[in-house]
Structure 1
Amino acid sequence: MGVGQAMLAAAALTALALTNSAMGQTAPAAAPGANPIVRDKFTADPAPLVVGNKLYLYVGHDEAQRDEMFNMREWLVYSTTDMRHWTDHGAIMKVADFKWAEKDAWASQVIQKNGKFWFYAAVEHDKTHPGKAIAVAVSDTPTGPFVDAKGSALITNQMTPKGTHSWEDIDPTVLTDDDGATWIAWGNRQCYIAKLKPNMIEIDGPITEITPPHFEEGPWLHKRGSLYYLTYASLDRSTHRDERISYATAPSINGPWTYRGELTGSGKYSFTIHPGIAQFKGNWYLFLHNAALVIGDLSGAIGRRAVTVEHLQYNADGTMKPVFQTDAGVTVALPGAARRN
């Protein structure tokens, strides 16, 4: 989310959104699966999960009105079998379902383990532990219902005391390694990683900082072959005003992490951006968000974003090929020789 930087950019983005609206830009008729993939709601922070023949996509629900920056109260899930047609399964949880949380249904991710589906999400903790926190919920199915699995926060701001601000503990990403151990990474400006206990609701061991260059927020962990990838929203404040996507790779979940540069640029009209990566039916996909959607009289803005998806390809050395964000998205097929990279 990047509240601190977002606040600095809010005025400029509001003006941009109003200009966009004044120019009469409305979402054109598009082929199924074209970007943005959800057009009747503002959505953000996409997190894909593949279960059998379906890809489930967990998103935050942007409900900001004209005088608001962020208004997010629930998490939604969609599914697809063909990356073209999406089924809306509605809300899987509301922030109010975590009784110890005050507000802010921010970025989340769901993974499957031990026959359960584990949901990790960023929220604002109540005054007993001020600042952002990471919650964990559980369900028997990928579409819920999800329930608070711990009754308290998994991670609070007080657990990362070296951080510089109260909203650093956001944007969880989770990965189960080949040895069965599950790791969680998260952060804003500082990026942290820790191992989870087998019960999935407690940290096992130390919290380690692994902040790569220009890290802002939104980390995403995945593994392909023998390489581990840490993809994230980056912000080089000396050259850019909006977040982009950068990444690092490592031979082990414990590093060392090597910075690989930018994967893609900023989302259209959007200060924030958030990666989610998955392999589905032999192809790799990069999910993002921008602020180019118009619904009724509401234009895209810092708190009204729209989820998109693009093909993702790899070079022979394991690095990822640059991704160009498009309106067509995955409705344009990759050449046959490249489809299964």
Structure 2
Amino acid sequence: MTGFPGRVVSRRRRDTASRATGWWRLLVAVAMALGTAVVLPRPADAATIDTTAYYQVVSRSSGKALAVQDGSTADQAQIVQYTTGAATSQQWQFVDSGGGYYRLRARHSGKVVDVAARSTADGAKVVQYTDNNGANQQFKPVDTDSGYLKLVNRNSGKVLDVYGRSTAEGAVISQYTDNNGANQQWRLVRVDAAPAHNPALPGYNADPQVRYLAGQYWIYPTSDGYADWGSTKFTAYSSPDLVNWTDHGVVLDLANVSWCHARAWAPTIAYRDGTYWLYFSACQQIGVARSTSPSGPFTDALGRPLVSTGQYGEQEIDPDVFVDDDGTAYLYFGSGNAEVARLSASMTAFATAPARITPASFREASNVFKRNGTYYLMYSENDTRSEDYRVDYATSASPLGPFTKAAGSPVLSKDTGAGILGTGHSSVVKVPGRDEWYIAYHRFRIPGGDGTHREVCIDTMTFASDGSINRIRPTLTGIAPVTP
């Protein structure tokens, strides 16, 4: 709900604004006379909004900031005003929707400001809601004066408004016919940027496999930046918190693999009985190497491929190993089709013949994990050279399938407004002892990346009450350090 029909700005308010403007002019005049510069923070105007930044949206009438009530992350949480502070629930990113309109995305939840039920009525409730780029989620910043803006809803033509011109903590925000009230005017105050943690790894890397091993988080990527994906070495990185990474250098060099010296792609790793097992793609075949340490060095365990080129009728690449609660290990692989086989106790042979489990729209990059008795198969759709490379997922009651594509797919895709393209080839990791999950994936390098100039990112992954994966928002900022 919002202010009252037919209201006008009081003479007193106009006089107050006039006096404020007068004091400002006097200050500038004095400064000029003294030959000194006046340096005060300049609020953003409509022409200078930075879509990579976060802003507090501060009411002209109350001095309080647009916020999500109680810091909620739920759909339909009320938008209110609170005293300005450091809470991320009052920090907003302006996501470009085109035509001068933006979605206001909450930093803490990833949801956007939304006029409830697409209402066009005065007094309609304003909430946060999952971003669907609806016209009722789009607002045009329109300059007024002195650095203040009105935020005009694309669906209704009405503006964001503090109910009843209230200055109270927690007063609700709604939409209302534009009457140029001070409670309809907002100042954008840029928030000092927190350290950006995306990309998570330095340089060009892709196809990240993230694991928790030996008391730390580890990432095993494809080294990128080579024409025709021509890397010949595998590297590893470790971290205590998923943010601060140590480069362990080369852990496996294909120069030391007798059956292939080219195209080192997409490794995966598992631990069993004191040994770390690295499964890797090379020459579009799959090999297995072993080490007594997650930092290597790894040595080829077979002297030949575990899976040879074309052996099962698809590109034999992108291995993923999953160890179930009972200790049984499974290997997933394939591009074009998905295969799964149970591994023997030796970890160097199949105990069962590979079986095809290809879900709808599958391209490559299988990654399997288990949560609350459900097996999740995450995979990539389209081509890694495409900006539409993205992550889908399917579920099953068994690690051997069948897997059914989830209704919520794709669950991770590009954000053109933020310049994030080609989000794919993912893996996920759970924080030990907590139902807290993170996803590692690659995207095109920013700026100017493509399908061979990619970088690894990490973002938060959450679940709905029915076990489905909530839409994952790729970010420029990444995550905060994960504490034990």
TM-score by length of 1: 0.78
Report matched runs for 1:188-337 at 5 Å: 188-235=335-382, 242-260=388-406, 261-266=409-414, 270-271=421-422, 273-281=424-432, 282=434, 283-293=436-446, 299-331=448-480
SS in 2 for 1:286: strand
Partner Cα distance (2:196, 2:249) in 1: 18
Matching residue of 2:240: 81
Partner Cα distance (1:280, 1:30) in 2: 26
- Is the CA contact (8 Å cut-off) linking 1:69 and 1:302 kept in structure 2? no
Partner Cα distance (2:471, 2:304) in 1: 40
SS in 2 for 1:265: coil
- CA shift, 1:177, in A, is 1.4
Matching residue of 1:116: 275
Structure 1 residues 149, 140: CA separation in 2 closer, same or farther (over 3 Å shift)?
same
SS in 1 for 2:376: strand
> Quick check: which has more Rg, 1 or 2?
2
- CA shift, 1:241, in A, is 6.3
CA shift digits 1:31-63 (9 cap, x unpaired): 556100123x21111001102431011111113
SS in 2 for 1:96: helix
Partner Cα distance (1:74, 1:244) in 2: 26
Structure 1 residues 30, 50: CA separation in 2 closer, same or farther (over 3 Å shift)?
farther
Q: Could you tell me which of 183, 200, 204 is aligned with 1:37? A: 200
Structure 1 residues 33, 186: CA separation in 2 closer, same or farther (over 3 Å shift)?
farther
Partner Cα distance (2:332, 2:206) in 1: 19
Q: Could you tell me which of 300, 303, 307 is aligned with 1:148? A: 300
Matching residue of 2:225: 63
SS in 2 for 1:329: coil
List gaps (5 residues or longer) in structure 1. Answer: 1-28, 125-131, 334-338
Partner Cα distance (1:301, 1:35) in 2: 17
Higher relative contact order (CA 8 A, sep 6+): 1
Give % identity: 29
Letter in 2 for 1:112: Y
Matching residue of 1:179: 326
Letter in 2 for 1:135: G
Matching residue of 1:17: none
In the alignment, structure 1 residue 100 sits paired with structure 2 residue 259:
yes
Query: Aligned residues, how many?
Result: 284
Partner Cα distance (1:332, 1:219) in 2: 27
List gaps (5 residues or longer) in structure 2. Answer: 1-191
SS in 1 for 2:425: coil
Letter in 1 for 2:201: V
Matching residue of 1:13: none
Partner Cα distance (2:261, 2:220) in 1: 21
Partner Cα distance (1:43, 1:266) in 2: 18
Partner Cα distance (1:114, 1:33) in 2: 38
Partner Cα distance (1:44, 1:207) in 2: 26
Q: Could you tell me which of 47, 50, 53 is aligned with 2:209? A: 47
Matching residue of 2:121: none
CA shift digits 1:158-216 (9 cap, x unpaired): 421x44xxxx1100000111222110001111111111111001111211000011101
- Is the CA contact (8 Å cut-off) linking 1:269 and 1:300 kept in structure 2? no
Root-mean-square deviation (CA), in Å? 2.4
Structure 1 residues 332, 93: CA separation in 2 closer, same or farther (over 3 Å shift)?
closer
TM-score by length of 2: 0.55
CA shift digits 1:208-265 (9 cap, x unpaired): 00001110111101111201010000139xxx86221000011111223121021111
SS in 2 for 1:331: coil
Letter in 1 for 2:299: V
CA shift digits 1:111-130 (9 cap, x unpaired): 11111100001110xxxxxx
- Is the CA contact (8 Å cut-off) linking 1:137 and 1:148 kept in structure 2? yes
Partner Cα distance (1:277, 1:87) in 2: 19
Letter in 2 for 1:292: R
Partner Cα distance (1:179, 1:192) in 2: 21
Runs of 4 or more, structure 1, over 4 Å off, are 29-33, 267-272
Matching residue of 2:107: none
Letter in 1 for 2:452: G
In the alignment, structure 1 residue 138 sits paired with structure 2 residue 290:
yes
Letter in 1 for 2:390: R
Partner Cα distance (1:332, 1:144) in 2: 25
